[in-house]
Structure 1
C-alpha cells in the first residue's frame, strides 16, 4: 500500500525544494545605493539619462498595486517625483526622441495591468501625454488575456535623423504564437501619443507567464523570459519575421527566469543578465553570443546579489559619476525598494568567478 505514495511524495518534495527561496548568500555583492521604499510593491525599473549631465539622470520604477504608480528617483535613491493612483502599473521602459509636433520627446511607457492600457509620460517631468491611455490586446476575450505586464521599447532607426519607437508588450496569459503584441507609437497634432498594432508573435510554453522583456536596439533583438522554461530571442524588427532565434538558459535557473537587463560594452558586445529569482542571483550570458553563432548564449557567470526575489532589472554603460563610473545595474528587491549597483562590482565578479 505504501508504495503507491512514493512517487507523489518524491514529486512534492522536489517541487518544494525547487520553489524554496534561497537566502541571500554570504558572498553576495552589496548595493551601492538602496532607494527609498514605495508604499506597495516595487517591480520594474528603467533609466533615463540626462542629456547634459549624467549625474542628474533619473530612475523610473513601478509600484505594482491597484492605487500604485510610477516613482522617480535620483541616483542617490531619493524619490523626487511620482504619478500615482493607477490600476496596477506593472513594467516600464524608457525611449528617446519620439517626434511630437515637431519636437523630440523622451518618454516612459508603462503597462497599466488592470486598466488594459499603456500609459505614456514625457520625461523628465513625468507628465501623461496619452489622452488617458492606449488600449492593449483589444478583442482578446480570455480571462487575463488583456492584463498587460511586460514591456520593452524598440527604437527603430528610419534614417540619420528619424526614429520610430515601438512598444513590445506581454500579458498575464495568452496564446502561443501571439502572446506578445507590438505597437507603433506616434505623436499626434494635439500633443498626445497613440499606438497601432503592427505585429503579434511569441512562443509561449503555457507553463507560467511571460513578464520580463528586453530589447537590444543596436543588435536588433528582443528577449523575453518564458518563466520556468528559459529565455526566448526574436528579431525586434517586425519586418524581419517571427522566427525564434534562440531558447537558452533552460537548465540554469532554480525555477523562474525573471528580469532581463542588457549591459552594452559597445555597440556589439556586452552581457545579458537574467534574474534567477528563487536563487537570488543573476545569470550572465554574452550579449554577442558565441564565436560563429550569435544566437548561442552559454552561461558564463552566476552573480549572487543582495536583492531578494528580484523581478525587474536594468543596466546601462554610462559614466554616472564617482559612484557609477562605468555604468549602473538596478534590480528590484523585496521591501518595496530598488538596489543600485556600481557596474564595476558586477564586472569584478564576472572576471573572478567565470563558469567554464
Structure 2
C-alpha cells in the first residue's frame, strides 16, 4: 500500500533548516463563521463519494460544520448553537443495543463541560443532551474538556473515548470512558484515569492507533506522549518523542494507516506552519512538509479511495482563516 520514506542519517532542528517548498491544497472549504480547529473524516462505505468531513468552529456560538468532498457546507448535517466545540472524531459500527449498531460523531463541548455523541449519517443525538466530564475539580480550567479520540477495541469489540482537558493534574490528566449500549442511547462509564502532563501549556490533540493499540497525545511544549490503548493494559508511559523536531506548540495528530502496521504519525508544528511525519512502527522522525496552512491546530487523514480527486487518500488540515485544506494524500507521501 505504501513505501516509507527513509529518514536522513542526520537531521537538523526543523526551525533551523532551509525553507521548505510550499505545497498547495487540492481544494479549500467554504468558510466557517468564527474559528476552525479540528477535523474528522466520515467515510460513507456504501458510496465513498458521499463521505463527509466534519470540522469544529470553536466559539461560544460555535458549530460542527459538515463539508462534502468539494468543500461545500452541508447545512442539513451541520450542528449549530454549540458552546465552543473543540475536538471531533468518528467511529464505525458502535453498538446501541443488542441488535442495532451505528456510525457515530463525537466531540467535546467545552463551555458546557461535556461530551456530545450523534449517529451518522442521520445526525441524531445519542447522549441525552450531553455527558458531563471532569466535574471533580471545578477550578483552574480542570473541568473544561478539549481533546477527544474514539476507538473500538480489537480485543473485546467495546468502544472507548479518551478525553483531555484545558488544564489538569501532572498525572492522570486523561480520562477514558467505555461507551455502554443503553437501548436507544449511549451511556458513558469511566474506566481509566492516566497520562502524564508537564504543566507547561495544555493537552488538546489525541489520536488512537486502533489496530496497533496505542494512544498518542500532544503535551504541547514538550513531546508526543504514547500509551497503550486498552484500559487494562497498564498506565506506564511508553515514550515521549519528537521534542527536538518542533518549534513550540505540538498540535494536531493524524495517523495514516497502511497494511502490515506501516504508516505515519503526522503532527502539526503550529508556529512553523508545517507538519512532521514520524514512522508509525518506530515513531522515528522521517520528514517535514509545508502544506501551506497557517497555525494549524487539528488534522486528519484517510488512506483509502474516496473519489477521482482523492483516489489514494485524503489529508485534511485546519487553516487559520476559518477554513480547512484538503489534499490528495498521494501528493504528500509515497504510496504503492
User: What TM-score, normalized by structure 2, do the two folds share?
Assistant: 0.91
Match of 1:354 in 2: none
Distance 1:208 1:45 in 2: 22
Question: What is the root-mean-square deviation of aligned Cα atoms in Å?
Answer: 1.8
Long gaps (5+) in structure 1: 1-20, 290-296, 352-356
Cα deviation, 1:260-311, whole Å, max 9, x if unaligned, reads 001112251100000000111100010011xxxxxxx221100011111000
4+ runs deviating over 3 angstroms: none
Greater Rg over alpha carbons, structure: 1
Among 241, 245, 251, which residue is 1:248 paired with?
241
Kept after mapping to 1: 8 A contact 2:20/2:289: no
Q: Report the alpha carbon displacement of residue 158 of structure 1 after superposing the two structures with TM.
A: 4.6
Match of 2:272 in 1: 279
SS, match of residue 91 in structure 2:
strand
Aligned residues: 318
Kept after mapping to 2: 8 A contact 1:218/1:267: no
The structure with the largest helix share of the pair is: 1
Q: How does 1:13-28 map to 2 (within 5 A)?
A: 27-28=21-22
SS, match of residue 261 in structure 2:
coil
Match of 2:82 in 1: 86
Distance 1:239 1:310 in 2: 34
Kept after mapping to 2: 8 A contact 1:313/1:330: yes
Answering whether residue 310 of structure 2 is matched by residue 314 of structure 1, we say no
Among 99, 115, 118, which residue is 2:115 paired with?
118
SS, match of residue 245 in structure 2:
coil
Q: How does 1:1-356 map to 2 (within 5 A)?
A: 27-80=21-74, 81-101=77-97, 102-158=99-155, 163-189=157-183, 191-289=184-282, 297-348=283-334
SS, match of residue 49 in structure 2:
helix
Distance 1:158 1:206 in 2: 33
Kept after mapping to 1: 8 A contact 2:206/2:253: yes
Distance 2:22 2:52 in 1: 26
Distance 2:82 2:138 in 1: 23
